[in-house]
Amino acid sequence: MNAEVLHGSCHCGAVRFEVRTAPTPASRCNCSLCRRKGALMSPPFAAAELTIKTGEADLTLYQFNTQVAKHYFCKHCGIYPFHQTRKDPRLWRVNLGCIDGVDVYALEAGINDGASLSVVEDA
């Protein structure tokens, strides 16, 4: 799919963002964090493609294991809208479930082998 401007938000609406990316190919990741949150992610895109419209101060950062990837969550509703990737910190992905007009249950999803990127066991 071609890149387009997608509009997204967390559940409570504190965090609103726009991103220019193709929504597919979508993927899921098998690392210990993604396994728990179960989100369907966009393809990776450059940081400059993401604009946080509101709620930057409502985000909280979670890091684990190698401390490279930056996983952002809304402080209020707990929803994960996007993260900076471990594989290439210049790249980000968004949670397609946060994007207006995207039916995540209608998309095919590949699996990212995030588990094998970890240098610490069981990550």
* Minimum CB distance to Zn ion smaller for 10 or for 39: 10
Rounded to a whole number of angstroms, the minimum distance from the CB of residue 68 to Zn ion is: 25
Rounded to a whole number of angstroms, the minimum distance from the CB of residue 58 to Zn ion is: 6
* Minimum CB distance to Zn ion smaller for 33 or for 74: 74
CB atoms within 10 A of CB 11: 14
Rounded to a whole number of angstroms, the minimum distance from the CB of residue 11 to Zn ion is: 5
Rounded to a whole number of angstroms, the minimum distance from the CB of residue 77 to Zn ion is: 3
Site residues (CB under 5 A) for Zn ion? 10, 12, 14, 74, 76-77
Hey, which bits of 1-123 come out as E strands? 4-9, 16-21, 26-29, 45-46, 50-54, 59-62, 70-74, 82-84, 91-94, 109-112
Tokens of 50: 């993401």
Sign of CA dihedral 33, 52, 6, 77: positive
Closest CB to Zn ion: residue number: 74
DSSP-assigned letter for residue 119: S
* Minimum CB distance to Zn ion smaller for 77 or for 115: 77
* Minimum CB distance to Zn ion smaller for 71 or for 76: 76
